[in-house]
């Protein structure tokens, strides 16, 4: 590997967080150092690893001065590590993310830099992803939508961009407050992408930019809870209400429930179903969160959401209810969905008749 001198004014800051990642860390680091695009700095922030990751990072940093290693004394989580680098270390106007077990294609940065340079209206850009097993065996390829219409249709039903394959504008991300600490169990990327989508253009390249390793899924319940909460927060923002998660620290569920007015908003049946003890634990029941998502997109504020967004939320809640063994709740969601659809159609036809009369 050729030794590289430090870049004084990098055009891209590649950001990787590391925690006990020795098995695949070398391949991941090399995939960035071998990029056809050369004008970048490589910020590798180790989050208190104990498995030899620190020594491996130091080895590569000694060989290539574009690497700027940062070592945290203790493990504080990916969100903290990412924000630390974002607000204290990043020099370039563009930030490219990659995970410590993934592999970037050699021309990834070159293609993304050109597209971001040609399209200043784009604040977030991703691309195609090839998924592979832990041992490197290929599984399948995921293509993400590039057109605005296609992206709009999956705001609440799927992630807009693959996080370790994305590149973002630093000024926009810092202006939005970076990754919210509340989402320490996951979904911090989905939440950030939704906030970016509300302020800037989002797109994806058709090319495969990343080989993503499918590791064992951990903390799935926490991740599911965070996914739902991020959707609730998005609905609040889109309907002109304050983001209930903004400013919260990790695990502050009580403050979240207070800002959502849980005990006031829950109908008698729901209040009975969700015992008060459920609101005191470290992780709220997912059924409660789904109910809150449904309620957030109903009532007096629902008219600020487009029928497409309301439909996405209803579909999401119906799928979850069926998956979690709540068929009657799913049926209730279906009936509410059709009722909302009928109301929207009546409003459209009424407005049309008024226009025709005038």
pLDDT digits (tens, 9 = 90+) for 153-184: 888 877 899 999 999 999 999 999 999 999 98
Average of per-residue pLDDT across 27-51? 97
pLDDT of res. 244: 93
Tokens of 39: 């004008």
pLDDT surpasses 60 at 356? no
pLDDT surpasses 70 at 118? yes
In the structure, what pLDDT confidence band is assigned to residue 276 with cuts at 50, 70 and 90?
very low
Pairing between β-strand 201-213 and β-strand 122-132 as defined by DSSP bridges:
parallel
pLDDT surpasses 50 at 57? yes
pLDDT tens digits, 58-109: 999 999 999 999 999 999 999 999 999 999 999 999 999 999 999 999 999 9
Element (H, E) at 40: strand 40-47
pLDDT surpasses 60 at 218? no
Tokens of 339: 């009722």
Average of per-residue pLDDT values in the chain:
84
pLDDT of res. 274: 44
pTM of the full structure? 0.85
Domain annotation for the chain: domains and CATH numbers: 12-213 (3.90.550.10), 220-351 (no CATH)
Q: Compute the distance between CA of residue 33 and CA of residue 38 in angstroms, rounded to an integer.
A: 8
Torsion, Cα of 160, 172, 235, 164 (10° steps) = 30
**Helices (H), ranges, the chain:** 22-33, 53-63, 78-88, 108-118, 148-152, 170-175, 188-197, 220-238, 253-260, 262-265, 268-273, 286-296, 307-323, 327-357
pLDDT tens digits, 301-321: 666 777 778 778 877 777 777
CB crowding 139-166: b at 16 or more within 10 Å, else e: eeebebbeeeeebbbebbeebbbbbbbb
In the structure, what pLDDT confidence band is assigned to residue 337 with cuts at 50, 70 and 90?
low
In the structure, what pLDDT confidence band is assigned to residue 270 with cuts at 50, 70 and 90?
very low
pLDDT of res. 131: 94
pLDDT of res. 79: 96
Please check whether residue 239 is in contact with residue 302, taking contact to mean a CB–CB distance below 8 angstroms: yes
Please check whether residue 161 is in contact with residue 115, taking contact to mean a CB–CB distance below 8 angstroms: no
pLDDT of res. 123: 97
pLDDT of res. 212: 95
The closest of 294, 284, 306, 295 to 155, measured between CA atoms, is: 306
pLDDT surpasses 80 at 277? no
pLDDT of res. 292: 80
Cα of 261 vs its chain's centroid, Å: 25
Please check whether residue 127 is in contact with residue 54, taking contact to mean a CB–CB distance below 8 angstroms: no
- What is the full DSSP assignment across 237-264? HHTTPPPSSTTPPTT-HHHHHHHHTHHH
pLDDT tens digits, 128-153: 999 998 888 888 999 998 888 788 88
């Amino acid at each position: 590997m050729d030794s590289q001198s430090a870049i004084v004014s990098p055009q891209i800051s590649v950001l990787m967080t590391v925690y006990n990642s020795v098995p695949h860390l070398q391949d991941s680091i090399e995939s960035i150092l071998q990029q056809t695009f050369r004008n970048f700095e490589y910020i590798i922030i180790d989050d208190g690893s104990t498995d030899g990751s620190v020594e491996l990072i130091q080895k590569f940093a000694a060989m290539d001065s574009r690497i700027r290693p940062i070592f945290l004394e203790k493990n504080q989580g990916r969100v903290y590590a990412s924000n630390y680098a974002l607000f204290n270390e990043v020099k370039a106007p563009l930030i490219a993310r990659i995970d410590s077990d993934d592999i970037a294609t050699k021309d990834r940065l070159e293609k993304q830099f050109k597209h971001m340079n040609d399209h200043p209206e784009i604040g977030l850009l991703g691309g195609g992803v090839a998924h592979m097993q832990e041992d490197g065996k290929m599984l399948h390829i995921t293509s993400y939508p590039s057109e605005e219409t296609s992206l709009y249709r999956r705001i609440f039903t799927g992630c807009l961009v693959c996080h370790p394959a994305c590149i973002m504008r630093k000024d926009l991300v810092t202006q939005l407050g970076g990754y919210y600490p509340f989402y320490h169990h996951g979904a911090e990327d989905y939440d950030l992408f939704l906030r970016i989508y509300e302020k800037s253009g989002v797109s994806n390249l058709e090319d495969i930019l990343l080989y993503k390793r499918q590791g064992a899924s951990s903390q799935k319940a926490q991740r599911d809870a965070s996914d739902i909460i991020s959707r609730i927060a998005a609905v609040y923002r889109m309907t002109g209400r304050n983001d209930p998660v903004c400013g919260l620290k990790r695990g502050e569920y009580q403050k979240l429930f207070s800002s959502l007015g849980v005990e006031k908003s829950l109908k008698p049946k729901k209040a009975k179903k969700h015992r008060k003890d459920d609101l005191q634990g470290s992780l709220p029941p997912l059924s409660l969160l789904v109910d809150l998502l449904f309620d957030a997109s109903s009532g007096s504020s629902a008219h600020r959401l487009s029928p497409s967004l309301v439909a996405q939320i209803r579909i999401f809640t119906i799928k979850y209810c069926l998956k979690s063994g709540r068929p009657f709740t799913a049926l209730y969601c279906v009936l509410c969905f059709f009722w909302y659809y009928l109301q929207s159609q009546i409003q459209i036809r009424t407005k049309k008749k008024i226009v025709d009369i005038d």
